[in-house]
Amino acid sequence: MFKKFSALVTVALMATGCVHVPDKLQISEGAVLTNFTDVKGNGEATVGQQARWGGVIADIKNYKDNTMIEVVHFDLKSSARPNVQDETKGRFRVYYQGLLDPMVYKKGRSITAVGTVKGEESGKIGEHEYQYPVLNANYVHLWKEIKQVDVRVTHYPQWYTPSLWYYHRPYYYSPYRTKVRSNVKPVKKSN
C-alpha cells in the first residue's frame, strides 16, 4: 500500500514540475534576453537585442502596415505567461508587422511578445508624458483567460461554505431530542 502511494506522489510531483512554454515563445539555448528594466531609460544602448516581455494590453491601434499594442509590463512566470499582480514596472509598446484584430486582442488580455528592442519613444498616458520602451515583435502570443471554477462535490448544502465544513451537530447527542414512543401507555403506580 505504501509503495503504491509513494509512486503516485512521485508521479504527481513530476507532472507538476513540467512547465510548458509555447513553441514560438521558446528561445534558443545560448540566447541572452534583455530585461525590461535594462531598456527603460537606456533604450539606445539596447537596440537590436533580443527580448521576451509580457503583460496586459492597455491599448491597441492598427496602422497601414503594422499594429501597435501598448502593454502594462509584468514579470513572466517560468511558462512565459505574465504574472499579473498589483504592481508593475511600467509600460512598453509592441509593434507587429500585420493586423492584430482589436476584438481578439482586447484591453485587459494577457500577452507575451518575442522580438528585438527598437529603443524608446515618447508618448502619453492620459496627460502624463511617458517614455515607452519599444519591442519589434516577431511573434505575439495571446494567452487564454483563466476562469476559476468551483469543483467541490457535496452531499450536504452546509458544505458550500468553508465555515460549516466541520460543524458541530449537537442534536445527535442531545437528551432533549429523544424520540418519545406514542403507542406506549404510562404505567400507573399502585400503592
Does any domain span residue 128?
Answer: yes
Pairwise pLDDT comparison (189 vs 94), residue with the higher score: 94
Does any domain span residue 67?
Answer: yes
The predicted-structure confidence for 34-51, as pLDDT tens digits, reads as follows 888 888 877 677 888 999
How is 135-181 classified by DSSP, letter by letter? EEEEEEEEPPPP--------SSGGGGSGGGTT---GGGT-GGGPPPP
Q: How many domains does the chain have?
A: 1
Stated pTM of the model = 0.67
Phi, psi at residue 75, to the nearest 5°? -60, 155
Does any domain span residue 179?
Answer: no
Q: Is the dihedral of CA 79, 82, 86, 87 positive or negative?
A: positive
Per the structure, the complete domain to which residue 40 belongs is given by 20-142
Does any domain span residue 172?
Answer: no
The set of cell numbers assigned to 18 is: 513540467
- CB-CB contact of 82 with 112 (8 Å): yes
Does any domain span residue 10?
Answer: no
The predicted-structure confidence for 133-164, as pLDDT tens digits, reads as follows 999 999 999 999 877 776 666 555 555 555 55
Q: What is the CATH number of the domain that holds 79?
A: 2.40.50.140
Does any domain span residue 150?
Answer: no
Does any domain span residue 148?
Answer: no
